A and B are shown apart, each in its own frame.
Chain A
């Protein structure tokens, strides 16, 4: 690989553009295929690979080998990283901020309250001290975003959930016991969301592993997000 190609690849990752690297294994010929809004194109310099094959590797987020007349071609996708938006700079959020990037979900912590989202409590973390609706509008919730609300205060949690339900966020979770869940559900339905839309919210949040401490709950949340990513629509776990 030429260093210039590696630089282009790293720059695409930094600026949030998905690309697929095509490598012909017989002679090492390489081409970076940018994925535009119109989808993938076929490689220009590597023969025998279709745009569909390039796109399939990207969709599956898994490297695939295309067989061509010149031998196998490796199609390695580099997708835009996912991220985790945490509303409520509470104890569970501190654990998430430290651990979530280890599973490919770098966290942003959002809390408008004084003294909560501070660098002392969240060393090195991405912090936003603002109301969640404003913060999320600025950040932009998309299909690569997971959101979990932990503030346990409707003034903070509800605007975040309202923003999330109107977005393509791939995961929405909300902390709360049975009574909190029922009243929250009622409020969101009264605010105009369908019962089906509100059902997108994972609550009780996290996989049911009997988690008790903030760290255990944080792990159960990360495990549930991984389950949603890896087993779309067909989780082996009862939810």
Chain B
């Protein structure tokens, strides 16, 4: 299992700092770190983290190309920490 946690937000962000999303090895997930806009990217990172054991720090925002791709529409920025539980 991997655990994603919102560490910081700037501007209008849908989930507050401290919000959790847990991801199972098969990709099932529960909880949320945004309004659904960056969850797919976080699940992808969670897979890598479960494989390597090394935590990742992600940042999504309107200035970030990845966020445009996954569609962070609210105009805010969010920083997320992803760690393996093992």
Contacts and interface: CB of A to CB of B under 8 A. Distances in A.
A25 B7 CA distance: 9
A6 B22 CA distance: 12
A3 B22 CA distance: 13
Interface in B1-29: 3, 5-8, 16-18
Contacts of A62: 16-18
A212 B13 CA distance: 34
A28 B6 CA distance: 15
Contact of A74 (B7, B54, B84, B85): B7
A224 interface: no
B86 A74 contact: no
Contacts of A3: 85-86
B8 A76 contact: no
Size bin of chain A's contact surface: 10 to 19
Contacts of B18: 62-63, 76-77
A74 B6 CA distance: 10
Nearest to A74: B7
Given A25-B57, A28-B55, A77-B18, A65 B81 contact: no
Contact of B5 (A6, A63, A77): A63
B83 interface: yes
Interface centre among B8, B18, B83 (most CB of A within 10 A): B18
Interface in A40-97: 62-65, 72, 74, 76-77
A1 interface: yes
A23 interface: yes
Interface in B22-77: 54-55, 57
A65 B7 contact: yes
Contacts of B8: 65
Contacts of A25: 7, 55, 57, 81
Interface centre among B5, B54, B57 (most CB of A within 10 A): B5
Contact of A63 (B6, B83, B85): B6
A74 B5 contact: yes
A62 B6 CA distance: 11
B16 A1 contact: no
A123 B54 CA distance: 44
Contacts of B6: 63
A28 B7 CA distance: 13
Interface of B: 3, 5-8, 16-18, 54-55, 57, 81, 83-86
15 contacts: A6-B85, A23-B5, A23-B83, A25-B7, A25-B55, A28-B54, A28-B55, A62-B16, A63-B16, A63-B18, A65-B17, A74-B7, A74-B81, A76-B18, A77-B18
